[in-house]
Structure 1
């Protein structure tokens, strides 16, 4: 089945098989958060992005393969409700950007811009996108056999950047980081996976970036 990225809360996961990495996307309630389980196809090692909710369901998704780490994209509660339970049940290392570490319910190892997170033989680059929260991050996987894949949390969605509570300074920080660290660096075919809702590509969204900047949200 062709991967579309369309998932619904309580519905079946969507699975994408890349050359070296398997991406499983699932929506969990009650706020339809996306969680992403990444598995290295060479080693079987797994990393979860955002243990948002429904811990038993996420642990079931992990299965018997074990979980090396849980990366939290930012400190908003709807992205970490299941974090503590998933970590306790799997022994995974919790990871978060240093500027958002105090917003999590458990102690976590801290990340900074430019760090890498290993998924077996694969590697995710940490990209700090300040504005939605002080420590919001995206995670970039550069597929050696294909297009880049980008996990954006709540910093970038189809149709705009994340919520900055109508704060002009925070919006300016976020739109600048999204434009310069993502759109200026990565090609149109880059597929991105947000914290809620459907996926998109940078190419589909690129023409709208000046409109986003002009409208201020």
Structure 2
């Protein structure tokens, strides 16, 4: 791994992430939930912010953009479809575009569902995915603007990345997600073991981010909507197809 990646908490449960290229000193924050913790993380590491990579327009992901831009003059990169709703945007990106942070290179993946213009950043050389609120550890985002079919398509794109990809998501929701996952997929032994590890980590005050895409595919019920066990859990036939199963799982989670 070339990049230096630092994870910390913002607000009550947002995940803050700094990604730095040690060769050039370029440093990006993925989203900008809260200025104070980001400044504290930069000071702790001795890094200087050069870039802000935004995944989507929600306030808990962009609130600190103006202050950070004023302080550092950082470049703000944002999804083209949501740029009008994001402050101080310098550069807009779409599916397949490349974003560079110093010598590091990320490919933009459009992931509509949580919001219509949501994107993720995939640093292939670092095996690091910054998924915002599309895919969570053991969960996925609510469908505020997209359909179940759109969100399933977005999740399928992310699940197609290599199993050793580290997933950095937008929130520390893993404990609650694990409890729902166990309700939906109680016979999943890898999930049972993972849920126990998550319980221990959170009891000790440790973050559960990043996780691995391979582990998500084995234990995250939203990525397993094509499996007969998950269809049965929501009362659908095994051949129903993943989209209806996913939609039913998401509705169940909304009420859980």
CA distance change for structure 1 residues 105 and 43 in 2, over 3 Å: closer, same or farther?
Answer: closer
- Decide which moves more: 40-49 or 205-214: 205-214
1:95 aligned onto 2:71: no
| Aligned partner of residue 15 in structure 2, secondary structure | strand
Structure 1, unaligned runs of 5 or more: 1-17
Structure label with greater radius of gyration: 2
Which residue in 1 is equivalent to 2:254?
none
8 Å contact from structure 2 (residues 23, 103) kept in 1:
yes
| Aligned partner of residue 92 in structure 2, secondary structure | strand
Deviation at 1:67, TM superposition (A): 2.0
TM-score by length of 1: 0.80
Deviation at 1:52, TM superposition (A): 0.5
Distance in 2 (CA, whole Å) between partners of 1:50 and 1:132 is 15
Q: How does 1:183-198 map to 2 (within 5 A)?
A: 183-184=159-160, 186-197=161-172, 198=208
- 1:149 paired residue among 89, 109, 128: 128
Q: How does 1:1-217 map to 2 (within 5 A)?
A: 18=1, 20-29=2-11, 31-53=12-34, 55-63=35-43, 65-143=47-125, 148-165=127-144, 170-179=147-156, 181-184=157-160, 186-197=161-172, 198-199=208-209, 200-207=211-218, 208=221, 209=223, 210=225, 211=230, 213=243, 214-216=245-247, 217=250
Deviation at 1:65, TM superposition (A): 3.9
- Decide which moves more: 170-179 or 200-209: 200-209
Deviation at 1:215, TM superposition (A): 4.1
| Aligned partner of residue 143 in structure 1, secondary structure | helix
Distance in 2 (CA, whole Å) between partners of 1:128 and 1:141 is 14
| Aligned partner of residue 100 in structure 1, secondary structure | helix
Distance in 2 (CA, whole Å) between partners of 1:68 and 1:116 is 17
TM-score by length of 2: 0.69
8 Å contact from structure 2 (residues 107, 121) kept in 1:
yes
Distance in 2 (CA, whole Å) between partners of 1:123 and 1:51 is 20
Larger strand proportion, structure 1 or 2?
Answer: 1
Deviation at 1:107, TM superposition (A): 3.7
CA distance change for structure 1 residues 191 and 32 in 2, over 3 Å: closer, same or farther?
Answer: same
Distance in 2 (CA, whole Å) between partners of 1:102 and 1:172 is 25
Larger helix proportion, structure 1 or 2?
Answer: 2
Deviation at 1:187, TM superposition (A): 1.9
Q: What does the per-residue CA deviation read over 1:142-183, in whole Å, with 9 as the maximum and x for residues that have no partner?
A: 236xxx111110000122321104x7x52210111221x222
RMSD: 1.9
Structure 2, unaligned runs of 5 or more: 173-207, 231-241, 251-256
